[in-house]
Amino acid sequence: MGWSISDLLSKENLDNFIPTKTLGLNGTVDTSDYMRRYKSLLMNGRLKDCVDLLEIMEQMGLLDMKKIHHASFLSACKKQRAVTEAVHFCRLIENPKMSTFNMLLSVCANSQDFEGALQVMVLLKEAGLKPDCKLYTTLISTCAKCGKVDAMFEVFHEMVSAGIEPNVNTYGALIDGCAKAGQVAKAFGAYGIMSSKKVKPDRVVFNALISACGESGAVARAFDVLSEMTAESSESKGCKTILPDHVTVGALMKTCIQAGQADRAREVYKMLQEYSIKGTPEVYTIALRSCSLTGDLGFALKIYEDMNKIGVQPDEMFLSALVDVAGHAKRADAAFEIIKDVRAKGFHVGIMAYSSCMGACCNLLDYNNASMILPSLICC
């Protein structure tokens, strides 16, 4: 059984931990041993033990938070979604800055912890600080990731009432939150407010609007957004052309697929070459879903070939989707060939791809070939 720092540093064991009166230069207490232990704990991702150690140092009058790199600890908390430890850490900072609360709120956003975000706002007021545009925007993002659409707009209205002008990032977070919740009307309502305030949209805003359309399969509206996005520069409007990226293409294809328009999704796919977009495995996986609708194995293999040509390595989701297309095309032999080719290229074949291959065989009542996949599934 392992021991935590709080166990090791109990009052009974404190004298056995580190000499409490080790003197450094000019008679000051030497805390270097404590700092070494703190850095070691942080490196090993033991965030609770880090906080426990800092709290004990504070009780002993040895803590100087200016010597602790705040961003490193909060970044680790963000990766581990450790909201509690992040809040405790920030409580140890004597005069926290606005940047500290922005980082803390980012931890909450990444952890989808709405209650934690509210606690950050309380800490902010206790510190005598007022939220700025960046903090309000991060809070809106937190609400969005938690699916709290009404709370998102409450924060937005509070921000405006406080006399803080929302920027393009604020509207982007607002529209993205509406898109994720499938609230198309509210997404375009927020965009209308943005336009009335003469805030110029960026690619993030346009992509969020297209994504909102995708939730309801509003194809025509999605392409209207694309047209506005790629419109030629106009001095009268003061806007400039914004080229699509892989997110734009993926969102457009999702919209077409949602509406059952597989052919149109494939036309959208051609935008990757048209705009010289390399993309990620995710956008190619979305393209494969349009092939699954019609069992178009030929186009699916072309997508796989395109990836190979430009050096995009397929991930497990892509391989599973590609094998799935073979299954819809009633080509179990092609499913096996795909896995064989992928392995020959040195790519990892995981459980999802093998499961899809087995599913393809079972759908065709090809139980002999299905049984051949079982050892590979067990190895995964």
Cα 39 to Cα 368: distance, rounded to the nearest angstrom: 56
Note down pLDDT in tens along the chain; length 380 residues: 444 544 544 444 444 444 444 444 344 456 788 889 999 999 999 999 999 999 999 988 889 999 999 999 999 999 999 999 999 999 999 889 999 999 999 999 999 999 999 889 989 988 899 999 999 999 999 999 888 999 999 999 999 999 999 999 999 999 999 998 889 999 999 999 999 999 999 999 999 999 999 877 889 999 999 999 988 544 434 556 789 999 999 999 999 999 999 999 999 999 999 999 988 999 999 999 999 888 899 999 999 999 989 999 888 889 888 888 887 788 877 877 888 887 888 877 767 776 776 666 666 555 455 455 544 444 44
**pTM of the entire structure?**
0.77
The CA distance from 32 to 35, in Å, is: 5
The three-state DSSP-derived secondary structure of 127-184 is CCCCCCHHHHHHHHHHHHHCCCHHHHHHHHHHHHHCCCCCCHHHHHHHHHHHHHCCCH
d(CA 377, CA 380): 5
Range of the domain at 34: 1-68
Within a domain: 64: yes
208 lies in some domain: no
Is 56 domain-assigned? Answer: yes
Q: What is the pLDDT of residue 3?
A: 47
Sign of the Cα pseudo-torsion (246, 249, 252, 254, in order): negative
Relative orientation angle of helices 203-216 and 168-180, to the nearest 10 degrees: 20
Residues 351 and 318 sit within 8 Å (Cβ to Cβ) = no
pLDDT value at residue 368: 55
Residue at 276 is within a domain = no
**26 is a domain residue:** yes
Does some domain include residue 122?
Answer: no
Structure tokens at 77: 């908390």
The predicted structure's pLDDT at residue 44: 93
Residues 105 and 142 sit within 8 Å (Cβ to Cβ): yes
- The residue to which tokens 């004597």 are assigned: 94
pLDDT of residue 13: 46
Per-residue CA distances from 332 to 286, 293, 335 (Å): 22, 17, 5
How many residues make up the chain in this entry? Answer: 380
Residue 163 lies in a domain: no
Q: How far apart are CA 17 and CA 252, in angstroms?
A: 60
pLDDT at 221: 94
What is the total count of domains within the chain?
Answer: 1
**pLDDT at site 373:** 52
Q: Is residue 28 part of a domain?
A: yes
